[in-house]
A and B are shown apart, each in its own frame.
Chain A
Amino acid sequence: MRNLMKWGATAVVVAGCSTFAGQAMAADPIKIGSILSVTGPASFLGEPEKKTLEMYVERINKEGGVLGRKVELVVYDDGGAGEKASTFTKRLIESDKVDLLIGGSTTATTMAALPLAERNEVPFISLAGAVVIVEPVKKWVFKTPHTDKMAAEKVFSDMKKRGITKIGMISEDAGFGKSGRDQSLLVVKSYGIEVVADEIYSPKDPDVTAQLTKIKNAPGVQAVFNFGFGQGPAIVTKNFKQLGIAVPLYQSHGVASKDYIKLAGDATEGVRLPAAGLVVPDQLPATDPQKPVVTAFKKDYEAAFKSDVSTFAGHAYDGLQIALAAINRARSTDKAKVRDEIEKTSGYVGTGGLVSMSPTDHMGLSPSAFHMVEIRKGDWVLSN
């Protein structure tokens, strides 16, 4: 047994040394560490994020790197588990000695990694949605995606505009849907809207007509709002059509990828959702500063991976650009200086919107970053 344990320990040491050796040879690269949920239930977040980071790091290195130094990316897959995220973050900070962290595909993995970044004073740009990540502000932690609260507000203001006052909610019981539902319930009243039915489903339920029937039969429902991502919303959408529910269906930004339309097919006709400009680059007015950025990113991504771009990939792109720009401005990888520069990010035009951070706002996106989009004949149509 002693041998076995030693074998394990030495194997870890060897693994550790080899990465150290790699670092020494490459003449001091800028090291970016990333924990992403590449497998597991959140893999449709982590997978495009990883691809995006790898593609752009490779491209930047081809163009000579940043500050004349190569950029090195270390990615670990946390499988969506908070505990793994915490251990891998420690590994990135302690063993790989990264200069900066990008990642945490989900709120849970971000929250697991967050205390480590704070304690070790490493700048950390999260790719997860929940508002708790940056409210209250944490010194070393930033994030690029829109919050679930912003999405809810966008949806509710659209409903208000259409005179909807009573809605049914159906949310997934996993992290994204749960947090989205809670945020929605917090802000819904200020739009004069009442939630008359509040139903839950599991992401892997084969059928949710029972929940939708309950919503359908709730008195006075004028619209239904579904918070979730993955195959869940597609099943909700299909069942919604099956039951012939006549009110409008709203989805969250979690479904802003072509996969959703592909899965749910014709049932998506008329579904409304808040989404970043990235999903409708051609329809943005020529005056929109985001237009060239999102058009270029969409083209790059789809050419490289032969699959439709999703907003999640965009979050990773924004995170990387903000980080590298900050390093560029700081003229070094000194963690404190880089952190200060990230906080000073101003007027960055990203795939998610215009980003201007401040000491009190570590996300920096304005609500105008969202557009209301409607699905018409299997494609997104801007509807503002």
Chain B
Amino acid sequence: MFAAFLQYLFSGLTSGAIYALAGLGFAIIYNASHVINFAQGEFIMIGGMATATMVAAGVPLYLAIPLAMVASMLVGVAMEKFAVEPARNADVVTIIIITIGASIFMRGAAQIIWDKEFHSLPAFSGETPIAVMGATLMPQSLWVIGVAAVVIVGLWYFFNRTMFGKAMLGTSHNRLAAQLVGVAVKKVLLASFALSALLGAVGGIVVTPITFTNYEAGIMLGLKGFSAAVLGGLGNGTGAIVGGLIVGIAEAMASGYLSSAYKDAIAFIIILFVLFFMPSGLFGKRGTDRV
């Protein structure tokens, strides 16, 4: 019995860590700009696809990874520069449509640049399952969890201990005030897209050995990442991680103990209930409206 429970938990942690990594990207851009970037999943896809195709073409992994990260970052910067920046003062919904347009564009480009097939990467440290009290875990799952942990610590340091990070945080709280005290708001926005695209790529690279990737892989990851970020409270990195883990574990427990057909629905019902009682998510700040 306990072994089964532990296995469900491992299954949930594996999915949850993937969702959490996706959710973090949403949190960063939201932090700096209050924009929800629906193309976040595509950054993940680009990271995974670029690395997988390069490795398949014979590029060594240690070279393919940084190249894919740079490629994804460039796409993020281009998106901010050419699509988001020009519409900065538009409505929230307008910007949402722009980012959805960007995601459709990136998917379309990916199927032409690469192809429509699924690609995989070899697991970083082999495929021998780790046995823990009757349950098993793949080493790659530990990679995903570990990378998520490193990223969250790194982000905490960046936002709280570096000047630029603080400037980003300040911009999110009050753009005008930040500008007045000398923060280059435009640069901050650009950096936030670069950072979250980079993070997306990292996520895409570590999850590809588990989930595989193709030009449409970003849709599901984006959706789950958005759910994780909202559940945790927008703009809160820790929230995104916790949100992702909750969604992942809820799905696994639901398929283990209730119904695997309804596991996704059960995860969404949990999210709805949390929002009914905590309208700003688990760790979100209660917003106040100015008249």
Do A207 and B118 touch across chains, with their CB atoms under 8 A apart? no
Q: Does B261 contact A (CB under 8 A)?
A: yes
In the complex, A173→B127 CA distance in Å?
27
Residue of A nearest to B211 (CB): A206
In the complex, A199→B264 CA distance in Å?
14
Residue of A nearest to B111 (CB): A39
Q: Which residues of A contact B214 (CB under 8 A)?
A: 231
Q: Does A158 contact B (CB under 8 A)?
A: no
Interface-facing stretch out of A258-266, A292-300, A360-368: A258-266
Q: Does A117 contact B (CB under 8 A)?
A: no
Say whether, besides A206-B15, A210-B11, A213-B256, A200 and B111 are in contact (CB < 8 Å): no
Q: Most chain-A CB neighbours within 10 Å: which of B10, B120, B251, B260?
A: B260
Q: Which residues of B contact A207 (CB under 8 A)?
A: 11, 14-15, 210, 252
Do A202 and B264 touch across chains, with their CB atoms under 8 A apart? yes
Do A210 and B260 touch across chains, with their CB atoms under 8 A apart? yes
Do A210 and B118 touch across chains, with their CB atoms under 8 A apart? no
Q: Which residues of A contact B12 (CB under 8 A)?
A: 210
Smallest Cβ distance from B269 to chain A, in angstroms?
16
Q: Does B18 contact A (CB under 8 A)?
A: yes
Do A243 and B116 touch across chains, with their CB atoms under 8 A apart? no
Q: Does A214 contact B (CB under 8 A)?
A: yes
Cβ contact of B211, chosen from A210, A231, A241, cutoff 8 A? A231
Residue of A nearest to B5 (CB): A213
Do A263 and B212 touch across chains, with their CB atoms under 8 A apart? yes
Cβ contact of A205, chosen from B15, B136, B217, cutoff 8 A? B15
- Secondary structure of the B contact surface, majority rule: helix
- Secondary structure of the A contact surface, majority rule: helix
Do B260 and A199 touch across chains, with their CB atoms under 8 A apart? yes
Q: Which residues of A contact B135 (CB under 8 A)?
A: 213
Within 8 A of A (CB), among B186-201: none
Q: Does B32 contact A (CB under 8 A)?
A: no
The digit string for B1-45, where 1 denotes a CB below 8 A from any CB of A, is: 000100110111011001000000000000000000000000000
Do B260 and A234 touch across chains, with their CB atoms under 8 A apart? no
Q: Does A211 contact B (CB under 8 A)?
A: yes
Do B212 and A200 touch across chains, with their CB atoms under 8 A apart? no
Cβ contact of B136, chosen from A44, A210, A244, A267, cutoff 8 A? A244
Smallest Cβ distance from A37 to chain B, in angstroms?
11
Within 8 A of A (CB), among B94-131: 111, 116-118, 120, 127, 129
Q: Does A201 contact B (CB under 8 A)?
A: yes
Q: Which residues of A contact B280 (CB under 8 A)?
A: none
In the complex, A242→B10 CA distance in Å?
12
Q: Which residues of B contact A39 (CB under 8 A)?
A: 111, 116
List A residues at the B interface (Cβ < 8 Å): 39-41, 43-44, 47, 173, 199-202, 204-211, 213-214, 217, 230-231, 234-235, 238, 241-244, 259, 262-263, 265-267, 307
What are 18 contact pairs spanning A and B, CB under 8 A? Answer: A39-B116, A40-B216, A44-B116, A199-B255, A204-B211, A204-B220, A209-B7, A209-B11, A210-B7, A210-B256, A213-B7, A213-B11, A213-B256, A214-B4, A231-B212, A242-B136, A263-B212, A307-B117
- Known A200-B259, A243-B129; 8 more pairs at CB < 8 Å: A47-B116, A201-B260, A204-B217, A208-B11, A210-B8, A214-B256, A243-B7, A265-B127
Query: What are the 10 tightest A-B residue pairs by CB atom distance, in nearest-first order?
Result: A204-B220, A200-B261, A209-B11, A210-B11, A206-B211, A210-B252, A213-B7, A210-B255, A200-B260, A210-B256
